[in-house]
Structure 1
Amino acid sequence: MIFRKEAIEAKKNRLTGKIIIHQRLSSYPLHLLIFVTFLAVIVYLSQCSYSRKETVKGYLLPSKGVIKVVSGRKGVLVRLLVQEGSNVVSNQPIAKIRDSQGMTGGVDVSMALKNELQQQRQALESELSIQTAIFDKEERRIDTQLTQRNRSLNAIRKAKATSLLRLELKEQQYEKNKSLHHKGYLSSTELAVVHEEYLEALESYDRLEKELASVLVEIDALKSAKILLPEQRFLKKTTIQREISQLETQLIELDNDYEFIITAPESGMVTAIQPSVGSYLTTDTIILSIIPQNSPLEMELLLPTRSAGFVQLDDEVRIRFDAFPYQKFGLVKGLVTNIDQALVLPSDKVFPIKTTEAMYRVRATLATQAIGAYGKQFPLKVGMIAEADIIQEKRSLLEWLLDPIYAIKGKLG
């Protein structure tokens, strides 16, 4: 038999209808979708970034600092020579302070000393005038005496010349009479008379010699006195002027002690005038402050030690001023320009902001010196308090997600 019985029976039990084989859907599109989604997430995480920031407090101050002018001495403020907001130049007077003490009788000690010194100065000035007059008179007296002595000198010289002629004549007569006496023509008595006349002429000549010598000595003395007179005048004048100068110095010191002027240490704008006229000042009383010229405002930020690890120069700063709410007026940007290496303790009390922990001072420049609002520009002012975000580092989201892995790797390494 061509067909077996079993085969024929099997054909009898077949189901009616067509058999359709259902093929399974391909998994390729699903894998592609998952891959694209994963790639998009990776790209997003790598392209989008997140900035780490530290929020700190700070205040505005000029780049050159605020110069606080103190009295330096005790006294009463009698006059302010500047006004709030006025500009001053270096060494310009800004305040007058008086320091006076009273005596038992109610007289001011400084004024009493000043009057006494002024009287002494007037006495010395009078003495200087009198001494000038005395030296003028002395010079005229010497000139007069020199004139008289020169006249006497001329007269004595003439008398001496005449006396010399007489002496020579008497000498000749005596020699002739002596010769006659030796020859017996003249008696001794007559010779004695001639001899006596000769001696009288000789004595007269010697007396004139002495007078001439005496007059010459007097003339020399007068000339020497006249030569020394200008030096004596100069010496006396210098001595008195030195004493007057000493009194002037004492008066200046007394005036400075009694009433002294405070001057501006640097050019700038006056601000924060504290005492009023009539106030008593101690040595460390702050009279006013000066904002130096060409000193733009900067932000001084107080950085806690726990936040100081990653702050670097040129880090971006975003500042929110308390006086200008950032929701309405926006932020002011800046850059870190200086980071102090020394800590400032709360006990130092050098900040206008109360601190309870040690801080580093960080300086940041501002992108603008004014806030724009309502169509106007409102300038920032010294001392304004603000809150600032220091942008420490900027990394992608992927780097932030992988940061724990880097940390573990660093520890294992």
Structure 2
Amino acid sequence: MKMRTGLFRKEAIDEQSNAVEGRFLMTPKPAYSAIAGLLVVWIVAVAVYLNMESYARKASVTGWLEPSHGVYKLYSDARRGKVLDVIASEGQLVEKGAPLIKISYSSKDALGHRVSTQLLAELESKQNRTHQSIKRLRTLHLAQQQRLEEQLSQAKHTSATLKDIIALTRSQWLLASKQWAKAQTLLEQGHISRADFETHSLNRLNAEQKLALAKKDWNNEQANIAAISHELATLPEQQANELANIENTYSDLTQQIVSHKSNAEEIIYAPRSGVISGLHVRTGYTVDSSRPLLTLLPQNADIQARIAVPVRSAGFLREGQALHIRYDAFPYQKFGVQLGEIVNISSSLVLPEELADVPISISEPAYLVTATLDTNEVLAYGNSISLKAGMTFSADVQLSQRTLMEWLMEPLYSIKGKL
């Protein structure tokens, strides 16, 4: 006997499947089918759009224009001074080393006279007197040397004369000695008197005395020649020492004058060739180091953009990113947006106080970014207007780009990242 596996008998199930009425089928209306089709198409289109279209994350930054070789801002001394003369003019092309501005830092006495002027006049007068002393001393040295040379020449001539006198007196002495010897022989033989012999003796003694005196004079003259020669030999060193002492005095006075002039007056010179811009002073203005006197721009230099990007916006910065620039001097509603490209990003952070001289306000730490411009001109009312250093602007820089689908799913990505 077989066991039944189902709840109902097979015959009962077959009977139910052979019902006369058949099965009930619901056919949808055509309008419903059309709506369903449209919904499917719309969902597919939205999905495609969300995956095809992208969303760019941008950061708005501010910056300014400056020459590619930078600018020089020239300042006066830390002391308060008064402008005596403005030598340069706005827009003037100057060469390196050209004088630009003359400033005085001197005070005045009770009568209104500048103390520095009086001191300078006294120093210059003393310097002039010292210079005249140097000239007189050199003239004196020359005369002294000429005098010694003449004395030496005269002494040598006298020595030569004395030498001739010595030779002559020696001959006289020899002759007198021979006559004395003959007279002595004759005296012994009794041919002459003692008086005649004594005469010959006296002549010999006189000749001997003259010879001794001539030798003494010659020796004295030789000593004189040696003394003059020694004086001539040491004269250059002695004169050099005397001249050095007075020249040192002159040099000290010169240093005092230079120091006094540098302390009392200052001339601002151009540190390099360029064009004068931003000349803020006039003759008679009071100046100090708190503000620049003028700005020196390099000639024919390309203009570049400098941007201070806050730390919070610098994470996705990279070289080559495009900039959409809106110049404050040329409203973008009328003159459009200009393009640029980031070429350099500073590796170190810059604090607000380090950028005190820039034309924009910076209130938070930032990175300095350098960007090139597509053009150095702006087309305005049919004319091309050149951009100028110092112009400010705002710009948009694209930090990242995602599809709309990724943007919508960002909360889920964030949750996943946290998990």
Question: Shift in Å at residue 231 of structure 1?
Answer: 4.9
Could you tell me which residue of structure 1 aligns to residue 401 of structure 2? 394
Question: Shift in Å at residue 69 of structure 1?
Answer: 0.8
C-alpha RMSD over aligned residues: 3.6
Question: Shift in Å at residue 187 of structure 1?
Answer: 6.1
Quote the Cα distance in structure 2 between the aligned partners of 1:137 and 1:84.
Answer: 59
Question: Shift in Å at residue 152 of structure 1?
Answer: 3.4
Question: Shift in Å at residue 261 of structure 1?
Answer: 0.8
Question: Shift in Å at residue 280 of structure 1?
Answer: 1.6
Quote the Cα distance in structure 2 between the aligned partners of 1:167 and 1:71.
Answer: 94
Alignment-mate amino acid for residue 246 of structure 1: D
Residues 124-160 of structure 1 show CA distances to partners (whole Å, capped at 9, x for unaligned) of 3333333344344434434544454444334433332
Report whether the alignment pairs 1:67 with 2:72.
Answer: yes
Counterpart selection for 2:114 from 88, 103, 108? 108
Report whether the alignment pairs 1:85 with 2:59.
Answer: no
Could you tell me which residue of structure 2 aligns to residue 8 of structure 1? none
Question: Shift in Å at residue 291 of structure 1?
Answer: 2.6
Question: Shift in Å at residue 239 of structure 1?
Answer: 4.2
TM-aligned CA distance change 1:323 to 1:167, over 3 Å: closer
Provide the secondary structure at the position in 1 that maps to 2:319.
coil
Residues 9-59 of structure 1 show CA distances to partners (whole Å, capped at 9, x for unaligned) of xxxxxxxxxxxxx996899x9798776655544443333222111223333
Question: Shift in Å at residue 179 of structure 1?
Answer: 3.5
TM-score by length of 2: 0.78
Quote the Cα distance in structure 2 between the aligned partners of 1:270 and 1:156.
Answer: 84
Q: 5+ residue gaps in structure 1?
A: 1-21
Report whether the alignment pairs 1:331 with 2:309.
Answer: no
Could you tell me which residue of structure 1 aligns to residue 413 of structure 2? 406
TM-aligned CA distance change 1:79 to 1:406, over 3 Å: same
Counterpart selection for 2:82 from 56, 64, 76? 76
Could you tell me which residue of structure 2 aligns to residue 44 of structure 1? 49
Report whether the alignment pairs 1:371 with 2:389.
Answer: no
Quote the Cα distance in structure 1 between the aligned partners of 2:52 and 2:257.
Answer: 80
Alignment-mate amino acid for residue 369 of structure 1: N
Counterpart selection for 1:278 from 280, 284, 292? 284
TM-score by length of 1: 0.79
TM-aligned CA distance change 1:342 to 1:280, over 3 Å: same
Could you tell me which residue of structure 2 aligns to residue 251 of structure 1? 257
TM-aligned CA distance change 1:101 to 1:165, over 3 Å: same
TM-aligned CA distance change 1:347 to 1:239, over 3 Å: closer
Counterpart selection for 1:288 from 266, 269, 294? 294
Alignment-mate amino acid for residue 47 of structure 1: M
Could you tell me which residue of structure 2 aligns to residue 175 of structure 1? 181
Question: Shift in Å at residue 241 of structure 1?
Answer: 3.8
Provide the secondary structure at the position in 2 that maps to 1:286.
coil
Counterpart contact for 2:349–2:365, Cα < 8 Å = no
Quote the Cα distance in structure 2 between the aligned partners of 1:144 and 1:279.
Answer: 66
The size of the alignment, in residue pairs, is: 391
Counterpart contact for 1:55–1:389, Cα < 8 Å = yes
Quote the Cα distance in structure 1 between the aligned partners of 2:88 and 2:393.
Answer: 30
Counterpart selection for 1:267 from 253, 273, 279? 273
Alignment-mate amino acid for residue 170 of structure 2: L
Quote the Cα distance in structure 2 between the aligned partners of 1:48 and 1:345.
Answer: 39
Provide the secondary structure at the position in 2 that maps to 1:76.
strand
Provide the secondary structure at the position in 2 that maps to 1:310.
coil
Identical positions, percent: 31
Residues 376-396 of structure 1 show CA distances to partners (whole Å, capped at 9, x for unaligned) of 112223333333222111222
Counterpart contact for 1:89–1:264, Cα < 8 Å = yes
Provide the secondary structure at the position in 2 that maps to 1:51.
strand
Could you tell me which residue of structure 2 aligns to residue 314 of structure 1? 320
Is the deviation greater in 255-264 or in 349-358? 349-358
Quote the Cα distance in structure 1 between the aligned partners of 2:352 and 2:308.
Answer: 11
Is the deviation greater in 200-209 or in 304-313? 304-313
Counterpart contact for 1:316–1:392, Cα < 8 Å = no
Counterpart contact for 2:322–2:341, Cα < 8 Å = yes
